[in-house]
Chains A and B, each alone.
Chain A
C-alpha cells in the first residue's frame, strides 16, 4: 500500500480544495460539518415552508397529498439526522479538543471519515428527489406502511439505506469522542473538572454508540422485508409491525437525548460566562445528565401508548417517563441558580441561552402531559405533539446551537458576529418560533391530527394555522438575517483571543487557534480553569496578554492529512448506493472500503516527511 502513496503522494499542506478534502484537523472538520448541516437546514426549512403554505388555509391544493407526505417526511428526517445531529457534532469537533487541552481528537482520520460518510449519506438521501422516489412514510416510517405493498417505489429504500450509511458515521464519531474525552484530557483535568459541555458530549457519544446499533437492526430488517422477502414486520407472514415501533423507539428515545444534551451543555457554558459566575451546582448538573442518559433507555414505549401494549406496560412507562422529567428540572433550577445575583450581560449568545431555558420549559411541560398515558391518548398523533417536538427541538436544540454559534464564533474565526444583527436574529426567531408553534397546542387539543395534507374549514382550525404559517414567514426572515450577519461579519475587525472573559481552556489560545492548538499542553488548575489563570495573573501583577504564536510551529508534530478517509467513505457510500441501483456496485464499494481500511492502517499517523 505504500506504493499507492508513491503514486499519489500523501498530502502535506492545508492549501486549496485538496487540503479540505484530506484534512484531519478537527477544527476544519468542524467547519465542514457546520456548513453542510446549515445547507441541509435550509433545505429542510424550505420543506417546512411548503408544509406551512399548504396548511395555511382550509381545503388548500397547493401540493398533492403524496407530495405533502414527502415534505413532512423529509423535513423531519433531514432536521433530525442531517441538521441537529451534525451541528452538535460540529461543536464537538471544534470545542472538545480545545476544552480538554488536547491537540486533536484521539483518531483524526476516523474523524474525517465520519464527516465524509455523513456527507455522502445525506446526498444519497437527497438523490431520492432527483429520481423522483422520495420517502413519504413519516420520519419514523411505521410498518407496515413502510412495506412494499403500501410503499411500492424506492423512497423507503432510500430512507433506510441512507440512514444506515449515516448511522456508521455517527457510531464512528461517538467512538472517537468517547476515547478522546476519557483519554486525552490535559493533566489536572479530572472528570469532575471537565466543562459541562464536555460531559454532555461524553454522555451523548455513549448514547450514540449504544443506540444506533438498534436502529441499524431495525433498518436492516425493513430493507430485508422490502427487498428479500422476509416478514419481520408483515402480519400475513406472522410478523408484527409493533416490533418495528419497539426497535425504532428503543433507538429513538436515546436519540432525542442525543439531540438535546449537547445544546444543554452549550447553555451550561454560556450562562456562567455571561453571569460572571461559575455554574451553580455543577455536580448536580453533571449527575442529572448522567441520569438522563441512563433513564432514557427506560422510557421508549411512551411513544407507543396508543398501540395497545396493555395497562401494565403503559403504567410502567408512564412512571419512568415522569421520573425522567426530574433530572431535567434539576438542570433548569441550577441554571436559574447560576443567573441568580449574577452580573448579567445580554449578549446574543446569552439571549439564545436564556431563550433555550424558557422555551425548553414550555416543551418540557407539554412533554410531562404526554407522559401520563391517559392524557396521551388524546394527544397522540395530534398537533399537540408537533408543538411539543418543536418547542424542545427548535426552542431547545436550535436555540442552544445558535447560542453556541454566537459564543464560539470569535474563537473559530477570530471575528465576532455582529451583535445588533444578532439581537434582531434572536427576536425574530423567538417571536417566529412562538407564533408558529404555540397555536399548535390548541390545534392539537381541538383534534387536528398530524400528517394530514389539508382540513375542512368547518373544523375551525384555519385561524390557528394561519398564525402558524405567518410565524414561518417571521422565521424565514430571521434566517435571512443570520445569513446576512455571517457575510457581514467577515469584514469586521479582529477580536482578542478572549473577547468574553470566559472560563474555558479554549479561550486561552489565539483566535483562530493555530493548527497545533496549544503550544504547551496546559496544566489544568480546576473547573473554570481560565478564570483561575486570569485571577492568578491579576494577583501576581502580570495580566494576560495575547497568546504568542509558537516560534517554530514545525516543532510540534500534528497528524498529517490523508486521503484514505474520503476514499473509504466513497466505498461505504457506494455500498449503500449499490443497494439502491445495481448490487454489483455494492461489491465494488465494499472492495474500495476494504482497500481504504487496509491502506489507512498501513499509513502512519504522521507522515515520515513531517518528522525531523
Chain B
C-alpha cells in the first residue's frame, strides 16, 4: 500500500454542499417520531413562557456559579454557561449504533497509541505514514517505555460527532488529551429537571448523573498493580483555566482532591500531595493539563503547573496518569484521515462511524486542487483544538482566505482541508424576556459524547450538544459564541 496516500483522499470535482437536516422536523415539516411529544409540549407554551425558560436558566446558572473562563484581554474572564432550554432528542435505536461506534473507535485509537510508543507495527506495515506520526507536534518521545496498567492510555475520550444530510452521525474530530464539557452535561440536565420536570419524566430520558461514578471506577481500575484502595487526585492548572469549573465539579462529585502542581511532590519515584497531616501518596492522577506542562524535568522547564519527576514515577510504575502522556498524537487532524484504517488494522472490523472526508495538504496534488477553490473548503491546523485557527471557506473574507493560503503554502503539512459539512440544525430559543416574546429558530449543532476506557468501556448516554447561537454560524465553541443544550437519549 502507498503509505503516503493510504487513508487520504483526493477531492474530486466541485462538491455541492447538501442541505442540512433539521433534527426535529423532516423535509416536509412533520415532527420526527421521537420528537413528537416534546414538540407538542413546546407548541402548547405561549412565547412569554418560552422566553422565561431561557431567562430562568440564565439566572440559576449565575446564582450557582456555573461558569467558564474565556482567554482574552482580561485574564480569566468568567462567563455564565450559555444554555438553550430546547432539548435535543436521540432515539434509542440511533444511540445504540452511535454507542457501539464510539467504543470501537476509542479502542482502536487506544491500540494505536499503545502500538506507536512500543513496536510501532502500524508504521512498519505502512498503514499510516511514519513521518506524519513522528513529526506530529503531539508526538512525545518521553512516552516510550511507559506502560500503563491494563494497557489503558486513553481513559477519557471526547469524540465530536456531527449529523450529516443523510442523518448519520459522522466523527468530526477526536479529543484524546484533556477533553472537557462533561460537567456541563450534568449541569444542563439538572437545569432541565427544574425547568421541565414533567416532560423529562414522561419521556423516560436516560440518566447522566452516573458519569462521575463511572469516571472514578475507570480511574481506580488503572491504578498500579497491588494497590487495593488507590488514592485518585485531579490535577488542574488552576482557577484561570477555561475549564476550571469542571475541574472543581468533577473532583467534588468523585470525592477526590483537586490538586495543583504546587501541592505535589515526587519522592523516591513516588507521587505525593502535601496535606495538613503531612505527605499523602497518590496512585492515579487524572490530569487536566497538557503534556508540555506536566514535568519540568522532561518537558517545558519553565512550567510551574506540573511536578518535577512525574515522568520517572510513571516509568517506575508507581502511579498512573490519565490520560497517558502523548495521546494527542492520535487526535492530530492529519492522523484523523487514517483512523478508519486503524479500526480495520487493530480490530479487524469495519468502522461503525464514518469520518468526514479529509484532504492532507502536504500532498502537492491535493494542495493544488484545494487551493484552487479554497472558499469551498474548511481548513484546519493539524495540531490545534477548541476550534482555534479553523477557516470556513464559504464564510471567510477575502483577507482571511489570503491569510490561510499564505499559511498553507508556508507549512503545508500543518493543515488539512475538508469539504464543508452540512451540520444538522435544531430548533433553538431565540429572544429574551425583555422583548416579551420568543420564537424557535434553526441553529447548527454538534455532539460531544464521552467514552471511558478501563477494565471495560463505559459511555455517557448522549453527551454535550453544542449549538451555534448566531444565525448561519457553524462555530459551536462556547469561547466563540456557542451555546449548549441538554441531550436526551430516550430509554428503549
- B is bound to A: no
Q: Which residues of A contact B (CB under 8 A)?
A: none
Give me the interface of B with A, judged by CB distance under 8 Å. Answer: none
